[in-house]
């Protein structure tokens, strides 16, 4: 009896392994381009945000918009603890994470009764209140001028910080993957599909809803505190709603029902965004553009040194992508691709399985 192996699963595994190898080798490949290394380590921050939002929204069905607020609370907690109490960045990050988890608990607890639209409205109001308070209490937070945070490492090289962010991304992804594929994950999905039915089947809805908020808030908090210690600065503008929209765009375009797709989507979009910021153009094209500089200016584009800067238009592009993805590719753009690879060979296996009993019972050869 010959079984056809599931090629797809292997290919998927090999691809993930190659991706990991590439991620580890990236600083060597990009040794002479520290800017792109910095872009890469920032993209890991977005990946953590998008993946944890995907866990909350895609798995548990809680469409919360308070994610950047959790991120900001953790970063500010860590920054203020460092400035006022002299805490080291590492202990500050831990405190910030705990704080984000605590606020996540409060928000989760308050939101127990609220569904879809009401939850979205409440969480938007919550994150705006957080931003306004941070903005107003300038003695403590620095107000609109922002807050300087102690750098995590005393080096100017991005290589060590790159590996720290990569490690953080891998650890958070693995732990979220473990949660999503445990009983926890099943309960999350049950709540998403039908809260009453889940409760009737014995899921402790209250507990798991709050747990979803706490876990994802803590991940957003870790990512935020860590990343802002690397940047060395945070300002209330980073807590504005468009940042949340960007995270949502990343998660949706990647695929909200798969953590790895959401994070790959975030990384790709962040790179694309950096590239779109200054698109390199050929000299002939540049001359043409320079001749019409006034028109180019009028459309909010800026001509740089051999590049064309798209400014706000790249954001508009991602907004449009978000809408189109929602409308036509419900599962995102990355997730179906991964699934397609993962399902390769399943058809052959099914055909082979169907043929097996025939061979045994009738003992005749199957026509090819």
Partner 1 sequence: MVNITSQYLLNLLLNGLLIGLIYGLMALGLTLIFSVLGIVSFAHGEFYMIGGYVVYYLLQAFADLEPMLAILAAGAVTFIIGVIFEILFLQPMGKGDIERPGEYAILLTFGLAFFLQHIMIGIVGPFPTKVSRFYDFIEMDAGWLRMNKATVWFFDMPFSSSRLIATGIAVFLTALMIWFMSKTWTGRGLQAVSQDRQAASVVGINPLRMNTLAFGLGTMLAGMSGAALVTVFAWVPWIGMAASGKAFVIIVLGGMGSMPGALLGGVVLGIVESLGAGLYPDPSKALAYKDAFGLLVFALVLLIKPTGFFGRKL
Our CB check for partner 1 shows the closer of 1 and 299 to be 299
Both tokens of 290, joined, read 């320079």
Query: Segment near partner 1 (CB under 8 A), from 29-37, 40-48, 57-65, 164-172?
Result: 57-65
Q: Name every residue whose Cβ is closer than 8 Å to that of residue 160 and which is 6 or more positions away in sequence.
A: 153
The structure tokens listed for 137 are 């209490």
Q: What angle do CA 265, 248, 65 make, to 5 degrees?
A: 150
If phi > 0 it is left, if psi is from -120 to 50 it is alpha, else beta; for residue 367 that is: beta
Q: Please pick, from the candidates 34, 38, 128, 170, the single residue that binds partner 1 as defined by CB under 8 A.
A: 128
* Nearest C-alpha neighbor of 59 from the set 208, 200, 241: 208
Least distance to partner 1, CB of residue 47, Å: 19
Q: How far is the CB of 236 from partner 1 (least distance, A)?
A: 10
CB of 146 to partner 1, least distance (A): 15
Burial 59-69 (b: 16+ CB within 10 A, else e): bbbbbbbbbbb
Q: How far is it, in rounded angstroms, from Cα 57 to Cα 249? A: 13
Distance in Å, CB of 240 to partner 1, minimum: 8
Instruction: Let me know how long the chain is.
Output: 368
The distance of Cα 31 from the centroid of its chain, to the nearest Å, equals 26
Q: Should residue 118 be labelled a site residue for partner 1 when binding is judged by CB under 8 A? A: yes
Answer for which of 26, 45, 70, 122 binds partner 1 (CB under 8 A) is 122
303 binds partner 1 (CB under 8 A): no
Let me know how many helices (H) and strands (E) the chain has, helices first. Answer: 17, 5
Tell me if 38 contacts partner 1 by CB under 8 A.
Answer: no
Question: For the chain, how big is the Rg over CA atoms in Å?
Answer: 24
Helix 89-110 and helix 67-85, axial crossing angle in degrees, nearest 10 = 140
Picking from 46, 94, 83, the residue whose alpha carbon sits closest to that of residue 221 is: 94
Contact flag: residue 206 with partner 1 (CB under 8 A): no
From 127, 67, 130, select the one nearest 262 (Cα to Cα): 67
Sign for the CA dihedral angle at 350, 352, 357, 362 comes to positive
Binding-site member from 50, 217, 322, 333 for partner 1 (CB under 8 A):
322
311 binds partner 1 (CB under 8 A): yes
Choose between 166 and 250: whose C-beta lies nearer to partner 1.
250
**Residues in 234-263 at the binding interface with partner 1, rule: CB under 8 A:** 240-242, 245-246, 248-249, 252
Name the one range near partner 1 by CB under 8 A: 16-24, 111-119, 213-221, 354-362. Answer: 111-119
Hey, how many other C-beta atoms are within 10 angstroms of the C-beta on 148? 13
Number of residues that bind partner 1 (CB under 8 A): 45
116 binds partner 1 (CB under 8 A): yes
Q: Is residue 199 a contact point for partner 1 (CB under 8 A)?
A: no
Query: Please, which residue, 214 or 248, has the CB nearer to partner 1?
Result: 248
Task: Report in angstroms how near the CB of residue 99 gets to partner 1 at its nearest.
Answer: 20
Report the site for partner 1 in 161-180 (rule: CB under 8 A).
Answer: none
Q: Which candidate, 243, 238, 211, places its Cα nearest to that of 79?
A: 238
Give the per-residue contact string, 261-300, with partner 1 (x = CB under 8 A; - = no).
--------------------------------------xx
| Chain residues that interact with partner 1, rule: CB under 8 A | 57, 61, 63, 110, 113-118, 120-122, 124-126, 128-129, 132-133, 135-136, 240-242, 245-246, 248-249, 252, 299-300, 311-313, 315-316, 318-320, 322-323, 326-327, 330
């Amino acid at each position: 009896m010959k079984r056809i192996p599931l090629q797809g699963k292997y290919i998927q595994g090999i691809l993930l392994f190659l991706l990991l190898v590439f991620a580890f080798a990236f600083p060597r490949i990009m040794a002479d381009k520290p800017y792109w290394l910095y872009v890469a380590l920032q993209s890991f921050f977005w990946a953590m945000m998008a993946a944890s939002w995907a866990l909350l929204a895609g798995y548990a069905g809680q469409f919360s918009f308070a994610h950047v607020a959790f991120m900001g609370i953790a970063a500010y907690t860590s920054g203020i603890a460092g400035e006022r109490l002299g805490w080291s960045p590492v202990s500050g990050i831990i405190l910030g994470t705990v704080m984000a988890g605590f606020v996540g608990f409060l928000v989760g607890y308050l939101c127990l009764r609220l569904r879809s639209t009401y939850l979205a409205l409440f969480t938007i109001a919550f994150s705006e209140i957080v931003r306004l308070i941070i903005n107003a209490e300038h003695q403590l937070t620095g107000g609109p001028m922002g807050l300087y945070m102690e750098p995590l490492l005393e080096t100017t090289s991005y290589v060590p910080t790159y590996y720290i962010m990569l490690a953080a991304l891998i650890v958070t992804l693995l732990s979220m993957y473990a949660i999503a594929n445990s009983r926890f994950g099943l309960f999350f999905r049950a709540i998403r599909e039908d809260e009453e039915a889940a409760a009737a089947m014995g899921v402790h809805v209250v507990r798991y809803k709050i747990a979803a908020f706490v876990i994802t808030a803590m991940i957003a908090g870790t990512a935020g505190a860590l990343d802002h210690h690397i940047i060395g600065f945070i300002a209330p503008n980073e807590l504005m709603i468009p940042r949340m929209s960007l995270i949502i765009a990343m998660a949706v375009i990647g695929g909200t029902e798969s953590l790895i797709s959401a994070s790959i989507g975030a990384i790709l979009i962040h790179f694309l965004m950096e590239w779109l910021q200054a698109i390199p153009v050929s000299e002939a094209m540049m001359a043409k553009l320079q001749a019409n500089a006034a028109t180019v200016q009028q459309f909010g584009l800026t001509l740089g040194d051999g590049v064309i800067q798209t400014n706000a238009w790249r954001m508009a592009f991602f907004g449009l992508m978000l809408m189109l993805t929602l409308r036509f590719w419900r599962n995102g753009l990355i997730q179906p691709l991964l699934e397609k690879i993962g399902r390769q060979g399943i058809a052959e296996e099914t055909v082979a399985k169907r043929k097996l009993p025939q061979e045994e019972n009738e003992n005749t050869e199957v026509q090819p």
